[in-house]
Amino acid sequence: MKYIDEFRDQRLARQLAAAIAAEVDPARQYRLMEFCGGHTHAIFRYGVQQLMPPNLRFVHGPGCPVCVLPMARLDQAMAMTREHGVTLCTYGDLMRVPASGRQTLLKAKAAGADVRMIYSTQDVLRIARDEPERQVVFMAIGFETTTPPTAVAILQARAEGLKNLSFLCNHVLTPPALRAILSLAGPDGVRLDGILGPSHVSTVIGTRPYEFVPNQFGIPVVIAGFEPLDVMQSALMLVRQINDGRREVENQYSRAVGEVGNTRALELMARVFVTRPSFEWRGLGFLPESALALADDYADLDAERRFPVRVETSHEIKGCECPAILRGLKEPTECKLFGTVCTPDNPMGACMVSSEGACAAYWSHRTHMPSSGRN
């Protein structure tokens, strides 16, 4: 298949592996963080780490918006179903993410709450049209990749006059999270030499928003595609930047990503959303200007304003290392719960639930699991 097969070619993979091995400096370490969970799964599924020299390690970052969603937002959604009797709709990967007291949306559904799994924003619009007697809340989640479809749904709900549909917005922004991770780097944080920039997010926002990374933190960035050869070529590009002493934003994924991104999608986002002053991220705490909320012009469609609830402070499950794993400080195998009480069938943290979480990647591709460089 065009644009797929050629990026999984074994002969080219061997050539790239040989080039990386020839160009790394044996006297130094190369710690490259992949921000996106799609990269993490490609690394494990295709055994990319095993093709790298011993002194080049991939460090796993936040992974996906499901992984970084704090328990309090799930508690808030479940409180809406209890206190206001709303019909809560969201994507399937949120259904089993643990909230306070190990409660989940799936358990809330089993207990009688009207919680429904949907596949797209169009499903939510259909439910609201078909059941006008129900107050329908869409728990929207995602990085910049899935934000434009939510914006379209909001505009469509307004155009159709759907009074029984509202949106609980959990859309978060990638650059502030990257800034937070790098700000925590150092003796007490993760040590990084390069960043594999996210793929799909960058198709929306472009390459410019990452320029602060080399300019302020002196760390090179390469926007990388999702296929194994994309990851390997991006690693080689980072190795060359590090060896040359260059600190730039380079774009390996040029077949899909441009400098300015998708201007139409960005216009839609700017029309419907505003930036929150602060928002909580699992593992990173409250980050300034790191998430979106509905603009005042769409307040009548904002579930947080229409269905206010009080949520208590939440705490991670004892022993769960998801917060440290999301920051790249630990690998899943360094968590005492991993593979024992925490499995995909019985997840303790979001990193094991999400299909793009680091723990799920380690579990799914155990035959390619590397031994931790920190163990």
pLDDT tens column, 83-137: 999 999 999 989 988 888 889 999 999 999 999 999 999 999 999 999 999 999 9
Q: Within this chain, do residues 129 and 156 fall inside the same structural domain, yes or no?
A: yes
Which has more confidence, 25 or 339? 25
Q: Within this chain, do residues 152 and 191 fall inside the same structural domain, yes or no?
A: yes
Q: Within this chain, do residues 162 and 195 fall inside the same structural domain, yes or no?
A: yes
Is the model's pLDDT at 375 over the cut of 50? no
Alpha-carbon 116 to chain mean position: 22
Could you give the CA distance from residue 196 to residue 174 in angstroms, rounded to a whole number? 13
Q: Per the domain annotation, does 374 fall within a domain?
A: no
pLDDT tens column, 140-157: 999 999 999 999 999 999
Contact 301, 294 (CB under 8 A): yes
CATH classification at residue 234: 3.40.50.11740
- pTM flag (> 0.85): yes
Q: Within this chain, do residues 211 and 135 fall inside the same structural domain, yes or no?
A: yes
Which has more confidence, 367 or 42? 42
Q: Within this chain, do residues 247 and 346 fall inside the same structural domain, yes or no?
A: no
Could you give the CA distance from residue 59 to residue 332 in angstroms, rounded to a whole number? 11
User: Which pair of tokens denotes residue 298?
Assistant: 């769409």
Res 51: pLDDT: 95
Mean pLDDT throughout 282-288? Answer: 87
Q: Within this chain, do residues 283 and 175 fall inside the same structural domain, yes or no?
A: yes
Is the model's pLDDT at 2 over the cut of 70? no
Instruction: Decide: helix, strand or coil at residue 197.
Output: strand
Q: Within this chain, do residues 249 and 329 fall inside the same structural domain, yes or no?
A: no
Q: Within this chain, do residues 316 and 332 fall inside the same structural domain, yes or no?
A: no
Q: Within this chain, do residues 293 and 356 fall inside the same structural domain, yes or no?
A: no
Q: Per the domain annotation, does 254 fall within a domain?
A: yes
pLDDT tens column, 311-323: 887 777 888 888 8
Residue 354 structural domain? 322-363
Q: Within this chain, do residues 9 and 113 fall inside the same structural domain, yes or no?
A: yes
Which has more confidence, 220 or 367? 220
Q: Per the domain annotation, does 372 fall within a domain?
A: no
The region of weakest confidence among 82-86, 193-197, 265-269, 313-317 is 313-317
Q: Within this chain, do residues 193 and 303 fall inside the same structural domain, yes or no?
A: yes
Res 374: pLDDT: 41
Q: Within this chain, do residues 69 and 125 fall inside the same structural domain, yes or no?
A: yes
Is the model's pLDDT at 181 over the cut of 90? no
